[in-house]
Amino acid sequence: MVAPPQVNFRLFEFQNEPNSGQGAQLWYHDHTEDFTGRNVYMGLAGFYVLEDELDARYQLEGKLPTGLAGDSTRAPTAWHDIPLVIQDRRFDANGQLNYDAVFDQSGVFGDTILVNGVVQPFFQVDRGQYRFRILNGSNVRVYLLTLSNPQARNTRLTFTQIGTDGGLLPKPVVRDSIELAPAERVEVVVDFSGVASMQSVILENHGDEQADGGRTAQIMRFDVVDRPAPPRITIPDPLRTVRDYFNPSGTGRDFLDLRVGLSSRPKPVTRAFEFDRGGGEFSINGQHFAGPCQLHGEPERFDAIVVEGTDEIWEVSNSSGGWYHPVHIHDNEWQVLDRNGQPPAPWEVGWKETFFLRQDTVRVLAHFETERDPKFPEFRGTYVFHCHVMEHEDHMMMSQFSVVEHQGDRPPPTPTDNCPPSTGTGG
């Protein structure tokens, strides 16, 4: 059975400010410079759910499936909110992970799929609706997820996507398949009511990178059993609105209005970052990562000084298309303004911090909060952004930006070669 009985359940407390607290499914992992890929491959990663008031209320009112797997106050049969961390690994003849044996700086693929650390996972479900919080925790593999019932002529089931990296979407989106790049997350509701009991539904992978003779084509199995399901839910539509930054005490307005309102706001700072591979090396704007200069003997790399309280538009692109790059920016949640000049797909309009680039150009918008309580300087500091193919990141496809205090009308400082204290690189 997939993880729930084996999950280590821990409680973390976050200081969420009223009205701004935003739920999300998040993961944390080792970020050691040059060794992130190896360390995550060997297991230094975890997943957690940060729940906000809106989501909690939906669950309380029976509008979203409830019962987080691992919650010891409920019977396991009541768990209908299931985190699924998908990773691919390769094992040696002794059943041990051997990263060095399969190391490739373009990215380390495995030929065996694990879900929540379990090989050949399966999970018993009733004929009700389940919420799955799915993370692609793989080093490089991109999944194309579908749901299929082989005992009913491979009938496809749909996903109703309700969330993304940064929590609930503005509106639920029904999808037949979902492409998920490393570090991306989706939340979906799956309805098993149309499946006969004693049949199984397979979560399949149709991604075509290193398919390994079909070994990575099946991710996990859901066995439908005859037991009572919870009352049926109707997913709210719309699901959420976002806070209006100009009227924080207001009730919020429709998600996309933040983009419409852009013209009436101070002009955002725009920056462009090209993720490229040249001469076999991974780079951003043609340059490599350089961390704290005490370690590197060369100037520390900073590409942006962000002034708190302002909006930023970053254009991230991969024009060569020779490799794909899921670009991950630490510290903040962003909205996709456009992808290759077109409006984002309905599943990409939520808050996100990982943006998948094949041969794409994506523009994203974020607002950087003003520090409200100097005792908790959680917004200011130095953060990294990088490709989340971990071997690309380890091969220097990474840079840094700093978030600094707003100093009235004085112009913001420019990136320097100084060694500022490095803080706040979590996320």
* Count of positions (residues) in the chain: 427
Minimum gap (Å) between residue 352 Cβ and Cu ion: 17
Q: Residue 80 or 392: which CB sits closer to Cu ion?
A: 392
Minimum gap (Å) between residue 295 Cβ and Cu ion: 23
Minimum gap (Å) between residue 389 Cβ and Cu ion: 4
Minimum gap (Å) between residue 99 Cβ and Cu ion: 18
Return left, alpha or beta for 332; rule: phi > 0 is left, psi -120 to 50 is alpha, else beta: beta
CA distance 405 to 402: 10
Residue 99 in tokens: 């990263």
Q: What's the start-to-end Cα distance of the chain, in Å?
A: 30
Pairing of strands 167-175, 159-164: antiparallel
Minimum gap (Å) between residue 393 Cβ and Cu ion: 7
Cis omega (within 30 of 0) for bond into 230: no
Q: Residue 46 or 322: which CB sits closer to Cu ion?
A: 322
How many C-beta atoms lie closer than 10 Å to residue 273's C-beta?
A: 18
Q: Residue 126 or 393: which CB sits closer to Cu ion?
A: 393
CA distance to 147, 209, 355, per residue, from 121 (Å): 15, 22, 28
Question: Which residues of the shown chain bind Cu ion in the complex (CB under 5 A)?
Answer: 325, 387, 389, 392
CB 354 within 8 A of CB 136: no
Q: Residue 83 or 326: which CB sits closer to Cu ion?
A: 326
Q: Residue 194 or 278: which CB sits closer to Cu ion?
A: 278
Pairing of strands 159-164, 122-125: unpaired
How many C-beta atoms lie closer than 10 Å to residue 322's C-beta?
A: 11
Minimum gap (Å) between residue 14 Cβ and Cu ion: 30
Q: Residue 363 or 392: which CB sits closer to Cu ion?
A: 392
